[in-house]
Amino acid sequence: MSFEIKADGVDVQAVMTAIRKRIEEKRQGLYTEEEIREIAERRLDAVLDAHDFNPDFVKDFRTLPTRWNFAFHEDTLYESSRGFVGQLLRTLRRLLNPVQKLFWNPNPMIAALSRQSDLNAYYAHLLTNLAVEITKLNLELQDLKNRHLALQAKVELDARRERTLEEMVIYREEPEKKGADGA
Amino acid sequence: MKLGFVVQRYGLDIAGGAEYHCRLVAEHLARHAEVDVLTTCATDYVTWENHYPEGTQTLNGVPVQRFAVERPREIYRFAEWSRRIEGPHVEADELRWLEEEGPLSPRLVAEVERRRSAYDLLLFFSYRYYTTYHGLLAAPERAVLVPTAENDGIYRLSIFQAFFRMPRAIVWNSPEERDMIREATGNEAVPGEVVGVGSELPNRLDPDAFRRRRAIQGPFLLYIGRIDLNKGCDELFEFFQRYRDETGSALRLILMGKAVLGIPDDPAIVHLGFVSDQEKWDALAAAEALVIPSRYESLSMVTLEAWWARTPVLANARCEVLLGQCRRSNGGLYFAHYDEFREALATLEADAGLRRTLGENGRRYFDANYTWEIVERKYLDLLERLRAEDAGRARAS
Protein backbone atom coordinates (compact mmCIF):
# COMPACT_ATOMS: atom_id res chain seq x y z
CA MET A 1 0.00 0.00 0.00
CA SER A 2 1.36 3.39 -0.99
CA PHE A 3 1.79 5.98 1.73
CA GLU A 4 2.16 8.72 -0.86
CA ILE A 5 -0.44 10.95 -2.46
CA LYS A 6 0.56 12.30 -5.84
CA ALA A 7 -1.45 15.48 -6.24
CA ASP A 8 -2.06 16.94 -9.66
CA GLY A 9 -2.49 20.51 -8.53
CA VAL A 10 -0.30 21.07 -5.48
CA ASP A 11 3.10 19.87 -4.43
CA VAL A 12 3.63 20.82 -0.80
CA GLN A 13 7.39 20.66 -1.14
CA ALA A 14 7.27 23.06 -4.09
CA VAL A 15 5.04 25.43 -2.09
CA MET A 16 7.49 25.29 0.82
CA THR A 17 10.43 25.88 -1.51
CA ALA A 18 8.71 29.01 -2.83
CA ILE A 19 7.98 30.14 0.75
CA ARG A 20 11.61 29.62 1.77
CA LYS A 21 12.81 31.52 -1.30
CA ARG A 22 10.59 34.45 -0.31
CA ILE A 23 11.97 34.35 3.22
CA GLU A 24 15.53 34.19 1.91
CA GLU A 25 14.96 37.19 -0.33
CA LYS A 26 13.65 39.14 2.62
CA ARG A 27 16.56 38.07 4.75
CA GLN A 28 19.17 39.05 2.20
CA GLY A 29 18.03 42.64 2.19
CA LEU A 30 16.36 42.02 5.53
CA TYR A 31 13.31 44.22 4.99
CA THR A 32 12.95 47.35 2.90
CA GLU A 33 12.52 50.64 4.78
CA GLU A 34 8.86 50.76 3.68
CA GLU A 35 8.22 47.22 4.96
CA ILE A 36 9.80 48.04 8.28
CA ARG A 37 7.80 51.27 8.54
CA GLU A 38 4.64 49.33 7.69
CA ILE A 39 5.33 46.75 10.39
CA ALA A 40 6.23 49.46 12.92
CA GLU A 41 3.01 51.34 12.16
CA ARG A 42 0.92 48.19 12.65
CA ARG A 43 2.51 47.70 16.04
CA LEU A 44 1.95 51.34 16.93
CA ASP A 45 -1.69 50.95 15.89
CA ALA A 46 -2.04 47.94 18.16
CA VAL A 47 -0.61 49.85 21.13
CA LEU A 48 -2.66 52.98 20.54
CA ASP A 49 -5.90 51.13 19.80
CA ALA A 50 -5.45 49.13 22.95
CA HIS A 51 -5.69 52.39 24.92
CA ASP A 52 -8.82 53.55 23.09
CA PHE A 53 -7.13 56.36 21.20
CA ASN A 54 -9.20 57.93 18.49
CA PRO A 55 -7.84 56.34 15.27
CA ASP A 56 -8.37 59.66 13.37
CA PHE A 57 -6.11 61.33 15.84
CA VAL A 58 -3.32 58.87 15.00
CA LYS A 59 -3.87 59.43 11.29
CA ASP A 60 -3.72 63.23 11.69
CA PHE A 61 -0.71 62.89 13.90
CA ARG A 62 1.11 61.11 11.08
CA THR A 63 -0.13 62.96 8.03
CA LEU A 64 -0.98 66.50 9.20
CA PRO A 65 1.24 67.41 12.13
CA THR A 66 0.36 71.11 11.86
CA ARG A 67 -3.34 70.33 12.40
CA TRP A 68 -2.57 68.30 15.50
CA ASN A 69 0.33 70.31 16.92
CA PHE A 70 0.22 74.04 17.65
CA ALA A 71 2.62 76.63 16.26
CA PHE A 72 3.62 79.34 18.67
CA HIS A 73 5.67 82.45 18.16
CA GLU A 74 5.74 85.92 19.72
CA ASP A 75 2.91 87.30 17.51
CA THR A 76 0.53 84.38 18.07
CA LEU A 77 -1.10 86.03 21.09
CA TYR A 78 -2.10 89.10 19.05
CA GLU A 79 -3.31 87.36 15.89
CA SER A 80 -6.89 87.21 14.71
CA SER A 81 -8.60 85.32 11.88
CA ARG A 82 -11.32 87.92 11.15
CA GLY A 83 -9.88 89.42 7.97
CA PHE A 84 -9.87 93.23 7.87
CA VAL A 85 -11.42 93.50 11.35
CA GLY A 86 -8.78 91.08 12.50
CA GLN A 87 -6.04 93.38 11.18
CA LEU A 88 -7.52 96.28 13.14
CA LEU A 89 -7.75 94.09 16.25
CA ARG A 90 -4.12 93.00 15.85
CA THR A 91 -2.99 96.65 15.51
CA LEU A 92 -5.05 97.64 18.56
CA ARG A 93 -3.65 94.75 20.64
CA ARG A 94 -0.11 95.77 19.68
CA LEU A 95 -0.82 99.35 20.67
CA LEU A 96 -2.21 98.21 24.02
CA ASN A 97 0.69 95.85 24.57
CA PRO A 98 2.62 98.22 26.84
CA VAL A 99 -0.52 98.71 28.96
CA GLN A 100 -1.06 94.96 29.16
CA LYS A 101 2.50 94.50 30.34
CA LEU A 102 1.64 96.62 33.36
CA PHE A 103 -0.64 93.78 34.55
CA TRP A 104 1.38 90.66 33.52
CA ASN A 105 4.37 89.63 31.44
CA PRO A 106 3.36 87.28 28.54
CA ASN A 107 6.97 86.70 27.36
CA PRO A 108 7.77 83.64 29.54
CA MET A 109 4.49 82.02 28.48
CA ILE A 110 5.23 82.76 24.81
CA ALA A 111 8.72 81.29 25.18
CA ALA A 112 7.45 78.18 27.03
CA LEU A 113 4.63 77.41 24.59
CA SER A 114 6.89 78.01 21.63
CA ARG A 115 9.46 75.61 23.06
CA GLN A 116 6.71 73.07 23.90
CA SER A 117 5.53 73.14 20.30
CA ASP A 118 9.04 72.38 19.08
CA LEU A 119 9.38 69.62 21.68
CA ASN A 120 6.10 68.02 20.62
CA ALA A 121 7.29 67.82 17.02
CA TYR A 122 10.65 66.50 18.19
CA TYR A 123 9.08 63.81 20.43
CA ALA A 124 6.76 62.70 17.66
CA HIS A 125 9.68 62.35 15.29
CA LEU A 126 11.80 60.58 17.92
CA LEU A 127 9.06 58.10 18.89
CA THR A 128 8.31 57.22 15.29
CA ASN A 129 12.00 56.61 14.60
CA LEU A 130 12.34 54.59 17.80
CA ALA A 131 9.39 52.40 16.78
CA VAL A 132 11.08 51.80 13.43
CA GLU A 133 14.43 51.04 15.06
CA ILE A 134 12.86 48.67 17.60
CA THR A 135 11.09 46.90 14.78
CA LYS A 136 14.40 46.55 12.93
CA LEU A 137 16.02 45.13 16.06
CA ASN A 138 13.11 42.74 16.59
CA LEU A 139 13.43 41.49 13.05
CA GLU A 140 17.16 41.01 13.45
CA LEU A 141 16.59 39.24 16.77
CA GLN A 142 14.06 36.93 15.17
CA ASP A 143 16.46 36.25 12.33
CA LEU A 144 19.13 35.33 14.88
CA LYS A 145 16.66 33.11 16.76
CA ASN A 146 15.83 31.34 13.51
CA ARG A 147 19.49 30.84 12.70
CA HIS A 148 19.99 29.53 16.23
CA LEU A 149 17.17 27.02 15.72
CA ALA A 150 18.61 25.94 12.38
CA LEU A 151 22.04 25.47 13.96
CA GLN A 152 20.52 23.57 16.87
CA ALA A 153 18.78 21.23 14.43
CA LYS A 154 22.10 20.67 12.63
CA VAL A 155 23.89 19.94 15.91
CA GLU A 156 21.16 17.45 16.89
CA LEU A 157 21.44 15.77 13.48
CA ASP A 158 25.22 15.59 13.78
CA ALA A 159 24.92 14.08 17.27
CA ARG A 160 22.52 11.45 15.92
CA ARG A 161 24.86 10.66 13.05
CA GLU A 162 27.75 10.39 15.46
CA ARG A 163 25.87 7.89 17.64
CA THR A 164 24.83 5.89 14.57
CA LEU A 165 28.42 5.71 13.36
CA GLU A 166 29.59 4.62 16.80
CA GLU A 167 26.94 1.90 16.86
CA MET A 168 27.87 0.77 13.34
CA VAL A 169 31.43 0.24 14.54
CA ILE A 170 30.14 -1.89 17.45
CA TYR A 171 27.90 -3.99 15.19
CA ARG A 172 30.74 -4.51 12.70
CA GLU A 173 33.01 -5.76 15.46
CA GLU A 174 30.50 -8.35 16.70
CA PRO A 175 30.40 -10.66 13.61
CA GLU A 176 34.21 -10.61 13.37
CA LYS A 177 34.43 -11.86 16.96
CA LYS A 178 31.83 -14.54 16.21
CA GLY A 179 33.80 -15.58 13.11
CA ALA A 180 36.97 -15.90 15.13
CA ASP A 181 35.18 -18.02 17.78
CA GLY A 182 33.66 -20.26 15.10
CA ALA A 183 37.03 -20.86 13.51
CA MET B 1 -7.12 -16.38 17.06
CA LYS B 2 -6.75 -15.26 20.65
CA LEU B 3 -5.08 -11.90 21.23
CA GLY B 4 -3.96 -10.23 24.46
CA PHE B 5 -3.49 -6.46 24.59
CA VAL B 6 -1.10 -5.12 27.24
CA VAL B 7 -1.25 -1.41 27.96
CA GLN B 8 -0.45 0.88 30.90
CA ARG B 9 -3.96 2.39 31.18
CA TYR B 10 -7.28 1.49 29.60
CA GLY B 11 -10.70 3.03 29.89
CA LEU B 12 -13.51 4.77 28.08
CA ASP B 13 -12.60 8.03 29.81
CA ILE B 14 -9.01 8.02 28.59
CA ALA B 15 -8.88 10.27 25.54
CA GLY B 16 -5.94 10.56 23.20
CA GLY B 17 -2.52 9.02 23.30
CA ALA B 18 -1.39 5.42 22.94
CA GLU B 19 -4.07 4.18 25.36
CA TYR B 20 -6.90 5.46 23.17
CA HIS B 21 -5.09 4.06 20.16
CA CYS B 22 -4.88 0.68 21.92
CA ARG B 23 -8.58 0.70 22.84
CA LEU B 24 -9.66 1.49 19.27
CA VAL B 25 -7.48 -1.28 17.85
CA ALA B 26 -8.63 -3.78 20.49
CA GLU B 27 -12.30 -3.01 19.86
CA HIS B 28 -11.88 -3.30 16.09
CA LEU B 29 -9.85 -6.51 16.20
CA ALA B 30 -12.41 -7.98 18.62
CA ARG B 31 -14.67 -8.30 15.54
CA HIS B 32 -12.18 -10.75 14.01
CA ALA B 33 -10.50 -12.44 16.99
CA GLU B 34 -10.93 -13.21 20.67
CA VAL B 35 -9.46 -10.23 22.50
CA ASP B 36 -8.48 -9.65 26.14
CA VAL B 37 -6.92 -6.55 27.63
CA LEU B 38 -4.42 -6.72 30.49
CA THR B 39 -3.87 -3.36 32.15
CA THR B 40 -3.50 -1.52 35.46
CA CYS B 41 -6.05 0.17 37.71
CA ALA B 42 -4.60 3.62 36.92
CA THR B 43 -6.14 6.50 34.99
CA ASP B 44 -3.71 9.29 35.83
CA TYR B 45 -0.61 9.09 33.64
CA VAL B 46 1.38 11.34 35.98
CA THR B 47 0.85 9.53 39.29
CA TRP B 48 -0.54 6.12 38.21
CA GLU B 49 -2.78 6.19 41.31
CA ASN B 50 -5.10 3.17 41.43
CA HIS B 51 -8.52 4.36 40.37
CA TYR B 52 -10.42 1.39 38.97
CA PRO B 53 -11.02 -1.71 41.09
CA GLU B 54 -8.89 -4.78 40.45
CA GLY B 55 -10.51 -7.60 38.50
CA THR B 56 -12.29 -8.09 35.20
CA GLN B 57 -14.88 -5.89 33.54
CA THR B 58 -16.15 -5.69 29.97
CA LEU B 59 -15.80 -2.41 28.06
CA ASN B 60 -17.50 -2.09 24.66
CA GLY B 61 -17.55 -5.88 24.42
CA VAL B 62 -13.86 -6.35 25.29
CA PRO B 63 -12.91 -8.14 28.58
CA VAL B 64 -10.46 -5.99 30.55
CA GLN B 65 -8.45 -7.42 33.43
CA ARG B 66 -6.94 -4.86 35.78
CA PHE B 67 -3.99 -5.18 38.15
CA ALA B 68 -3.13 -2.78 40.95
CA VAL B 69 -0.14 -0.46 40.69
CA GLU B 70 2.18 -1.35 43.56
CA ARG B 71 3.16 2.21 44.33
CA PRO B 72 2.27 5.47 42.61
CA ARG B 73 4.90 7.47 40.81
CA GLU B 74 6.85 9.80 43.06
CA ILE B 75 7.29 12.73 40.73
CA TYR B 76 10.43 14.26 42.25
CA ARG B 77 12.20 10.93 42.49
CA PHE B 78 11.25 10.18 38.89
CA ALA B 79 12.59 13.60 37.83
CA GLU B 80 15.82 12.89 39.72
CA TRP B 81 16.28 9.56 37.92
CA SER B 82 15.38 11.15 34.60
CA ARG B 83 18.20 13.66 35.16
CA ARG B 84 20.56 10.88 36.18
CA ILE B 85 20.09 8.88 32.97
CA GLU B 86 20.82 11.96 30.90
CA GLY B 87 24.43 11.90 32.11
CA PRO B 88 26.96 9.08 32.36
CA HIS B 89 25.21 6.07 33.86
CA VAL B 90 25.03 2.28 33.85
CA GLU B 91 22.24 -0.05 32.70
CA ALA B 92 21.01 -0.60 36.26
CA ASP B 93 20.24 3.13 36.46
CA GLU B 94 18.05 2.84 33.39
CA LEU B 95 16.15 -0.08 34.87
CA ARG B 96 15.65 1.94 38.03
CA TRP B 97 14.44 4.87 35.94
CA LEU B 98 11.95 2.54 34.24
CA GLU B 99 10.69 1.42 37.63
CA GLU B 100 10.21 5.06 38.64
CA GLU B 101 8.53 5.78 35.30
CA GLY B 102 5.98 3.03 36.07
CA PRO B 103 3.28 2.04 36.22
CA LEU B 104 4.90 -0.39 38.65
CA SER B 105 2.68 -3.46 38.45
CA PRO B 106 4.75 -6.65 38.80
CA ARG B 107 1.51 -8.61 39.15
CA LEU B 108 0.48 -7.60 35.66
CA VAL B 109 3.87 -8.72 34.35
CA ALA B 110 3.59 -12.02 36.27
CA GLU B 111 0.14 -12.58 34.77
CA VAL B 112 1.51 -12.01 31.25
CA GLU B 113 4.19 -14.61 31.94
CA ARG B 114 1.73 -17.06 33.46
CA ARG B 115 -0.87 -16.81 30.68
CA ARG B 116 1.44 -16.36 27.71
CA SER B 117 0.60 -19.75 26.22
CA ALA B 118 -3.12 -18.96 26.37
CA TYR B 119 -2.68 -16.33 23.65
CA ASP B 120 -1.65 -16.69 20.04
CA LEU B 121 -0.10 -13.27 20.21
CA LEU B 122 0.28 -10.45 22.75
CA LEU B 123 0.18 -6.84 21.57
CA PHE B 124 2.16 -4.40 23.72
CA PHE B 125 1.45 -0.68 23.41
CA SER B 126 3.98 2.13 24.20
CA TYR B 127 7.51 0.86 24.56
CA ARG B 128 8.64 3.19 27.34
CA TYR B 129 6.59 1.91 30.28
CA TYR B 130 7.40 -0.65 32.94
CA THR B 131 4.46 -2.87 32.00
CA THR B 132 5.44 -2.99 28.32
CA TYR B 133 9.15 -3.50 28.86
CA HIS B 134 8.92 -6.25 31.46
CA GLY B 135 5.77 -7.76 29.95
CA LEU B 136 7.44 -8.11 26.55
CA LEU B 137 10.56 -9.59 28.14
CA ALA B 138 8.30 -12.17 29.81
CA ALA B 139 6.83 -13.35 26.49
CA PRO B 140 9.00 -12.20 23.57
CA GLU B 141 8.09 -15.17 21.36
CA ARG B 142 4.44 -14.00 21.28
CA ALA B 143 5.02 -10.27 21.40
CA VAL B 144 3.91 -7.75 18.81
CA LEU B 145 5.08 -4.29 19.81
CA VAL B 146 3.28 -1.06 18.95
CA PRO B 147 5.97 1.34 20.18
CA THR B 148 4.25 4.74 19.59
CA ALA B 149 7.74 6.21 19.89
CA GLU B 150 8.42 9.93 19.72
CA ASN B 151 11.71 11.57 18.91
CA ASP B 152 12.46 12.36 22.54
CA GLY B 153 15.68 10.37 22.80
CA ILE B 154 14.37 7.83 25.36
CA TYR B 155 14.51 5.05 22.77
CA ARG B 156 18.30 5.48 22.73
CA LEU B 157 18.67 4.15 26.29
CA SER B 158 20.77 1.02 26.29
CA ILE B 159 17.98 -1.13 27.77
CA PHE B 160 15.94 -0.53 24.63
CA GLN B 161 18.70 -1.57 22.23
CA ALA B 162 18.07 -5.29 22.72
CA PHE B 163 14.40 -4.73 23.57
CA PHE B 164 13.52 -3.51 20.08
CA ARG B 165 15.11 -6.63 18.57
CA MET B 166 13.04 -9.02 20.73
CA PRO B 167 9.40 -8.90 19.54
CA ARG B 168 8.08 -11.12 16.81
CA ALA B 169 6.93 -8.06 14.89
CA ILE B 170 6.50 -4.32 15.26
CA VAL B 171 3.53 -2.22 14.20
CA TRP B 172 4.76 1.26 13.39
CA ASN B 173 2.77 4.45 13.38
CA SER B 174 4.77 6.02 10.57
CA PRO B 175 7.77 5.36 8.32
CA GLU B 176 9.67 8.06 10.28
CA GLU B 177 9.10 6.23 13.57
CA ARG B 178 10.33 2.99 11.98
CA ASP B 179 13.44 4.64 10.51
CA MET B 180 14.23 6.42 13.78
CA ILE B 181 14.12 3.20 15.82
CA ARG B 182 15.95 1.18 13.18
CA GLU B 183 18.68 3.79 12.98
CA ALA B 184 19.09 3.73 16.78
CA THR B 185 18.76 0.01 17.46
CA GLY B 186 19.58 -1.78 14.21
CA ASN B 187 16.43 -3.92 14.45
CA GLU B 188 15.88 -4.27 10.68
CA ALA B 189 15.54 -8.03 11.11
CA VAL B 190 12.31 -7.68 13.10
CA PRO B 191 9.39 -7.78 10.65
CA GLY B 192 7.04 -4.85 10.79
CA GLU B 193 4.30 -2.95 9.13
CA VAL B 194 3.47 0.76 9.09
CA VAL B 195 -0.18 0.83 10.10
CA GLY B 196 -1.22 3.71 12.36
CA VAL B 197 -4.80 3.85 13.55
CA GLY B 198 -8.25 4.74 12.26
CA SER B 199 -10.68 7.20 13.77
CA GLU B 200 -14.25 7.12 15.00
CA LEU B 201 -15.77 9.17 12.21
CA PRO B 202 -18.94 11.26 12.51
CA ASN B 203 -22.06 10.80 10.42
CA ARG B 204 -22.08 14.43 9.37
CA LEU B 205 -20.00 17.61 9.46
CA ASP B 206 -21.76 20.89 10.26
CA PRO B 207 -19.33 23.82 10.34
CA ASP B 208 -22.19 26.35 10.59
CA ALA B 209 -23.51 24.63 13.73
CA PHE B 210 -20.12 25.15 15.38
CA ARG B 211 -20.03 28.84 14.43
CA ARG B 212 -23.60 29.37 15.64
CA ARG B 213 -23.09 27.52 18.92
CA ARG B 214 -19.88 29.36 19.78
CA ALA B 215 -20.80 32.67 18.12
CA ILE B 216 -17.59 32.57 16.11
CA GLN B 217 -17.50 34.75 13.01
CA GLY B 218 -14.64 35.03 10.55
CA PRO B 219 -11.70 32.80 9.78
CA PHE B 220 -9.88 30.86 12.48
CA LEU B 221 -6.96 28.56 13.04
CA LEU B 222 -7.72 25.52 15.19
CA TYR B 223 -5.62 23.76 17.81
CA ILE B 224 -6.87 20.52 19.39
CA GLY B 225 -5.10 18.74 22.24
CA ARG B 226 -3.52 19.37 25.61
CA ILE B 227 -2.42 23.00 25.87
CA ASP B 228 1.05 22.32 27.15
CA LEU B 229 4.69 23.37 26.80
CA ASN B 230 5.54 19.87 25.56
CA LYS B 231 3.06 20.36 22.74
CA GLY B 232 4.75 23.58 21.61
CA CYS B 233 1.83 25.80 22.63
CA ASP B 234 4.05 28.57 24.08
CA GLU B 235 5.70 28.96 20.69
CA LEU B 236 2.33 28.81 18.96
CA PHE B 237 0.99 31.71 21.07
CA GLU B 238 4.10 33.79 20.42
CA PHE B 239 4.07 33.11 16.69
CA PHE B 240 0.35 33.67 16.33
CA GLN B 241 0.34 37.00 18.17
CA ARG B 242 3.35 38.22 16.17
CA TYR B 243 1.66 37.11 12.97
CA ARG B 244 -1.43 39.16 13.76
CA ASP B 245 0.65 42.18 14.80
CA GLU B 246 2.77 42.12 11.70
CA THR B 247 0.20 41.28 9.06
CA GLY B 248 -2.93 42.85 10.52
CA SER B 249 -4.70 39.50 9.97
CA ALA B 250 -8.19 39.01 11.37
CA LEU B 251 -7.52 35.30 11.94
CA ARG B 252 -8.38 33.94 15.40
CA LEU B 253 -6.89 30.99 17.21
CA ILE B 254 -9.42 28.56 18.70
CA LEU B 255 -8.08 26.14 21.31
CA MET B 256 -9.78 22.89 22.32
CA GLY B 257 -8.48 20.75 25.18
CA LYS B 258 -7.26 20.94 28.75
CA ALA B 259 -4.96 23.87 29.52
CA VAL B 260 -1.90 23.17 31.65
CA LEU B 261 -0.17 26.30 30.35
CA GLY B 262 -1.22 29.94 30.75
CA ILE B 263 -3.17 31.21 27.76
CA PRO B 264 -2.45 34.83 26.73
CA ASP B 265 -5.17 37.32 27.56
CA ASP B 266 -5.92 38.18 23.95
CA PRO B 267 -9.40 38.43 22.38
CA ALA B 268 -7.99 36.75 19.26
CA ILE B 269 -7.18 33.57 21.22
CA VAL B 270 -10.27 31.66 22.36
CA HIS B 271 -10.08 28.65 24.67
CA LEU B 272 -13.12 26.37 24.54
CA GLY B 273 -11.87 23.64 26.91
CA PHE B 274 -13.20 20.11 26.43
CA VAL B 275 -15.79 19.75 23.67
CA SER B 276 -17.91 16.88 22.43
CA ASP B 277 -16.66 14.71 19.56
CA GLN B 278 -19.29 16.13 17.22
CA GLU B 279 -18.28 19.69 18.06
CA LYS B 280 -14.64 18.83 17.45
CA TRP B 281 -15.50 17.50 13.99
CA ASP B 282 -17.68 20.52 13.20
CA ALA B 283 -14.85 22.85 14.26
CA LEU B 284 -12.39 20.93 12.09
CA ALA B 285 -14.69 21.43 9.12
CA ALA B 286 -15.10 25.15 9.89
CA ALA B 287 -11.42 25.97 10.43
CA GLU B 288 -9.14 27.51 7.82
CA ALA B 289 -6.46 25.10 9.00
CA LEU B 290 -5.49 22.91 11.94
CA VAL B 291 -2.21 23.89 13.58
CA ILE B 292 0.04 21.27 15.21
CA PRO B 293 2.97 22.97 16.95
CA SER B 294 4.26 19.85 18.72
CA ARG B 295 7.79 18.57 18.12
CA TYR B 296 7.01 15.18 19.60
CA GLU B 297 4.39 13.17 17.78
CA SER B 298 4.32 9.51 16.93
CA LEU B 299 1.30 9.78 14.63
CA SER B 300 -1.04 12.70 15.51
CA MET B 301 -4.54 11.30 15.12
CA VAL B 302 -5.98 14.80 15.07
CA THR B 303 -3.97 15.57 11.92
CA LEU B 304 -5.54 12.59 10.21
CA GLU B 305 -8.97 13.66 11.44
CA ALA B 306 -8.42 17.15 10.00
CA TRP B 307 -7.64 15.57 6.66
CA TRP B 308 -10.74 13.43 6.81
CA ALA B 309 -12.68 16.70 7.28
CA ARG B 310 -10.82 18.09 4.22
CA THR B 311 -9.03 20.72 6.31
CA PRO B 312 -5.35 21.47 5.64
CA VAL B 313 -2.82 21.45 8.44
CA LEU B 314 0.05 23.70 9.45
CA ALA B 315 2.55 21.49 11.27
CA ASN B 316 5.83 21.80 13.11
CA ALA B 317 8.53 20.74 10.63
CA ARG B 318 10.90 19.92 13.50
CA CYS B 319 8.73 16.85 14.14
CA GLU B 320 9.86 14.42 11.47
CA VAL B 321 6.62 12.43 11.62
CA LEU B 322 4.47 15.49 10.91
CA LEU B 323 6.86 16.65 8.22
CA GLY B 324 6.71 13.23 6.55
CA GLN B 325 2.90 13.09 6.82
CA CYS B 326 2.55 16.54 5.20
CA ARG B 327 4.93 15.66 2.39
CA ARG B 328 3.41 12.25 1.70
CA SER B 329 -0.15 13.50 1.78
CA ASN B 330 0.39 16.89 0.13
CA GLY B 331 -2.18 17.93 2.70
CA GLY B 332 -0.42 20.58 4.73
CA LEU B 333 2.33 23.16 5.04
CA TYR B 334 4.94 23.24 7.78
CA PHE B 335 7.21 25.59 9.68
CA ALA B 336 10.52 25.25 11.47
CA HIS B 337 10.68 28.84 12.77
CA TYR B 338 8.70 32.05 12.88
CA ASP B 339 9.47 33.25 9.34
CA GLU B 340 8.17 30.00 7.90
CA PHE B 341 5.13 30.11 10.20
CA ARG B 342 4.33 33.62 9.00
CA GLU B 343 4.77 32.94 5.31
CA ALA B 344 3.06 29.53 5.37
CA LEU B 345 0.09 30.84 7.34
CA ALA B 346 -0.17 33.94 5.15
CA THR B 347 -0.14 31.69 2.09
CA LEU B 348 -2.87 29.46 3.53
CA GLU B 349 -4.94 32.41 4.67
CA ALA B 350 -4.78 34.19 1.33
CA ASP B 351 -5.36 31.24 -0.97
CA ALA B 352 -8.72 29.48 -0.59
CA GLY B 353 -7.95 27.32 -3.64
CA LEU B 354 -4.76 26.04 -2.06
CA ARG B 355 -6.61 25.27 1.19
CA ARG B 356 -9.23 23.34 -0.72
CA THR B 357 -6.66 21.34 -2.69
CA LEU B 358 -4.60 20.54 0.40
CA GLY B 359 -7.77 19.45 2.21
CA GLU B 360 -8.78 17.20 -0.69
CA ASN B 361 -5.28 15.68 -0.81
CA GLY B 362 -5.48 15.06 2.94
CA ARG B 363 -8.80 13.28 2.53
CA ARG B 364 -7.40 11.07 -0.25
CA TYR B 365 -4.41 10.25 1.97
CA PHE B 366 -6.73 9.30 4.83
CA ASP B 367 -8.93 7.16 2.59
CA ALA B 368 -5.89 5.40 1.15
CA ASN B 369 -4.23 4.60 4.49
CA TYR B 370 -6.31 5.14 7.61
CA THR B 371 -9.84 3.80 7.16
CA TRP B 372 -10.63 1.05 9.66
CA GLU B 373 -10.98 -1.48 6.84
CA ILE B 374 -7.37 -0.85 5.85
CA VAL B 375 -6.03 -0.68 9.41
CA GLU B 376 -7.81 -3.89 10.44
CA ARG B 377 -6.64 -5.68 7.29
CA LYS B 378 -3.02 -4.70 7.89
CA TYR B 379 -3.16 -5.90 11.51
CA LEU B 380 -4.89 -9.14 10.58
CA ASP B 381 -2.52 -9.89 7.70
CA LEU B 382 0.49 -9.40 9.96
CA LEU B 383 -0.97 -11.43 12.83
CA GLU B 384 -2.06 -14.25 10.49
CA ARG B 385 1.42 -14.33 8.97
CA LEU B 386 2.99 -14.72 12.41
CA ARG B 387 0.50 -17.42 13.38
CA ALA B 388 1.20 -19.30 10.14
CA GLU B 389 4.93 -19.14 10.92
CA ASP B 390 4.23 -20.62 14.38
CA ALA B 391 2.12 -23.38 12.86
CA GLY B 392 4.86 -24.17 10.30
CA ARG B 393 7.48 -24.28 13.03
CA ALA B 394 5.30 -26.59 15.17
CA ARG B 395 4.79 -28.96 12.23
CA ALA B 396 8.53 -29.00 11.46
CA SER B 397 9.43 -29.88 15.04
**A 23-82 → B contacts, CB under 8 A:** 23, 26-27, 39, 42-43, 46
Question: What percent of chain A is predicted at pLDDT more than 90?
Answer: 4
Chain A interface includes B365 (CB < 8 A): yes
Write the DSSP string, A22-64: HHHHHHHT---HHHHHHHHHHHHHHHHHHTT--HHHHHHHHH-
With a cut of 80, say whether residue B9 has pLDDT above it.
Answer: yes
CA distance A179 to chain B (A): 20
Is the distance from CB of B10 to CB of B22 less than 8 angstroms?
yes
ipTM over the 0.85 cut-off: no
The reply to whether domains B2-198+371-396 and B207-369 share a CATH topology is yes
Instruction: Output the average pLDDT for chain B.
Output: 93
Q: Which pLDDT value is given to residue A156?
A: 80
A10 and B354 within 8 Å at the Cβ level: the answer is yes
CB B337 to CB A11 under 8 A?
no
Judge whether residue B359 has pLDDT over 80: yes
Closest-CA residue of chain A to B180: A160
Mean pLDDT value across residues B13-33: 92
Strand pairing of B62-67 and B55-59? antiparallel
Kindly tell me if the per-residue pLDDT of A90 is higher than 50: yes
Report how far Cα B186 is from the mean position of its chain's Cα atoms.
Answer: 23
Buried b / exposed e across B378-392, counting CB within 10 Å, b at 16+? Answer: bbeebbeebeeeeee
Beta pairing, strands B143-146 & B121-125: parallel
We find that the CATH architecture of domain B2-198+371-396 is: 3-Layer(aba) Sandwich (3.40)
Query: Best residue in A1, A4, A8, A12 to probe B by mutation, most B CBs within 10 Å?
Result: A12
Is the predicted pLDDT of residue A37 greater than 90, yes or no? no
Give CA angle at B278 (B272, B284), nearest 5°. Answer: 65
pLDDT(A50) > 60 = no
- Among the residue ranges A53-67, A121-135, B111-125, B213-227, the one predicted with the least confidence is A53-67
For the segment B245-304, what is each residue's pLDDT rounded down to a tens digit? Answer: 888 899 999 999 988 888 999 999 999 998 999 999 999 999 999 999 998 888 889 999
In chain B, which residue's Cα lies nearest the Cα of A50? B266
Given pLDDT bands bounded at 50, 70 and 90, which one contains residue A60? low
| Distance, CA of B284 to CA of B210 (rounded, Å) | 9
CA distance B284 to B253: 13
Mean pLDDT of B52-76: 94
Question: A154: nearest CA in chain B?
Answer: B318
**What percentage of chain A reaches a pLDDT higher than 70?**
64
| Domain boundaries of chain B, sorted by first residue | 2-198+371-396, 207-369
Is residue B18 within 8 A of residue B146, CB to CB? The reply is yes
Question: Is pLDDT of B368 > 60?
Answer: yes
Does residue A179 register a pLDDT over 60? no
Task: Give the confidence band of A170 by pLDDT, cuts at 50, 70, 90.
Answer: low
With an 8 Å Cβ cutoff, is B186 touching chain A?
yes
Question: May I ask the CATH class of domain B207-369?
Answer: alpha beta
CA count, 13 A, side-chain hemisphere, B323: 14
